[in-house]
Amino acid sequence: MKLLMVSVGEGRYAVPADIVTQILDPALEGDFRVERSEAVYRGVRFPVLDLHAAAGERPGVATVYLVIEAARNRAVVPVDGADSIRDVPSTAIAPLPSFIFSRPDREFRGVFSDGGEPRLLLDQDGLL
Amino acid sequence: MSAAGGSWLISFRVGGAEAALPLAVVREVTARPPITRVPGSHPFVSGIALHGGVALPVYDLVRFAPLWSGPRPVRAEGKAGEAEHVIVCDWGEARVGLLGDGVDLLEAEQAGNAPGGAQASRCRMSAEYVREILRRDDEAVLLLNPERLFASLGVPAAEPTGAGEGGGEDDPAGR
């Protein structure tokens, strides 16, 4: 399973790479802007999923935007960094127990070891 | 000695109190592993650790307000507990970790019941979570009620065979 490693504040997470269609750097994209809870890219509006708010983190100064798409739903996710793509076997990803969450909708579904540190896998079903 | 009579306990220090759990629910005690905070989890969940390839939710009982009858040892939004050990417990289909220090093995038969005065002065935990108050030397050891504790933490109890699998876990790869 190919995963894109991202950082959001102090959190280090992973996104299934196959749902990431683009990584946008607003400094390099003239036709991209964010308007409150929506992003507009080349005239198309996308909902913005605010992981910083979900994680209780403040946005960094060099935010990049992931365009993600799955099951015909699309969204833009601001992150502070997209570091690398790693191939992580599905068997190495442990499911997160649902009972630890304080609400039914959740942003994370699994965890795997990344250099000895647990790294959380974002839940595409929860995001989109 | 009644409920705890003749059994082994794991005692540990948490929030300034000396607590204990029946050894039967404790799988092992480990040095504190790397723990990653999980946004959206209960405030008393310190985070998630990997334990033998399994996601181990680690609970900080200091942050679990209903457990404490007196002033909270720390604020719920305060700094994460610095305990050096994790008491790994098997509860139903779930495996959970509790942060603790000063972990020790205690035989309930050798620990006496604490006198009433000692109980009143030393017990800062809510009575509903304490099955029995034992005495070890000159200190009170609060034997926790695991059924009550884990239920309050949201850990599902064992289900009848075939009623469910995975302890509330989902397949992270979407299988």
The reply to whether residue A99 touches residue B154, judged by beta carbons under 8 angstroms, is yes
Could you tell me which residues are beta bridge partners of residue B26?
A: B89
Mutating which of B37, B41, B51, B153 best tests the A interface, going by the most A Cβ atoms within 10 A?
B41
Quick one: which of B134, B125, B46, B129 has its CA closest to B83?
Answer: B46
Contacts of A41 (CB under 8 A, 6+ apart): A24, A29, A31, A32, A67, A76
Please state, for a pLDDT cut of 90, what percent of chain B lies above it.
60
Taking the Cβ of residue A95 and every Cβ of chain B, the question of whether any pair is shorter than 8 Å is answered with yes
Question: Phi and psi dihedrals of A51, rounded to 5?
Answer: -70, -30
Residues from chain B contacting residue A114 (CB–CB below 8 Å) = none
Sequence spans of domains, chain B:
8-153
Say which of A1, A103, A108 has its CB closest to residue B38.
Answer: A108
Q: What does the pLDDT average to over B144-159? A: 91
Q: Is the pLDDT of residue B17 over 70?
A: yes
Quote the pLDDT of residue A51.
86
By the 10 Å C-beta count (0-12 exposed, 13-18 middle, 19+ buried), B52 is classed as exposed
Pick from A111, A124, A125: which is nearest to B55 by CB? Answer: A111
Q: Which two tokens stand for residue B36?
A: 């990653």
Average pLDDT over residues B73-90: 73
pLDDT of residue B163: 42
* Chain A, nearest residue to B59 by Cα: A100
Q: What is the pLDDT of residues A64-108, one digit of tens each?
A: 999 999 888 899 999 999 989 999 999 999 999 999 999 888 889
pLDDT of residue B124: 83
CB burial class (10 A; 0-12, 13-18, 19+) of residue A46?
buried
Structure tokens at A41: 């890219």
The answer to whether the Cβ–Cβ distance between A96 and B170 falls below 8 Å is yes
Question: Whole-model pTM above 0.90?
Answer: no
* Shortest alpha-carbon distance between residue A100 and chain B (Å): 5
Nearest to B18 by CA among B149, B148, B134: B134
Fold for B8-153, please state it.
OB fold (Dihydrolipoamide Acetyltransferase, E2P) (2.40.50)
Is it the case that residue B168 has pLDDT exceeding 60? no
Q: How confident is the model at residue B11 (pLDDT cuts 50, 70, 90)?
A: very high
Domain boundaries, chain A: 2-127
Per-residue tokens: B153: 């933490």
The partner residue sitting opposite A101, judged by closest CB among B40, B50, B55, is B40
Neighbours of A32 (CB within 10 A): 18
CA separation for the pair B55, B47 (Å, rounded) = 10
- Dist. CA A53–CA A79, nearest whole Å: 11
State whether residue B34 sits within 8 Å of chain A by CB: yes
Contact between B124 and B68 (Cβ < 8 Å): yes
pLDDT tens-digit map of B35-64: 999 999 999 999 999 999 999 999 999 999
Residues B105-126 have a mean pLDDT of 66
Confidence class for position B6, pLDDT limits 50, 70, 90: low
CB atoms B50 and A94 under 8 Å: yes
Task: Pull the structure tokens for residue A48.
Answer: 């913005």
Rounded distance between C-alpha atoms, residue A94 and residue B169, angstroms: 9
* Predicted local confidence at residue A118, as pLDDT: 97
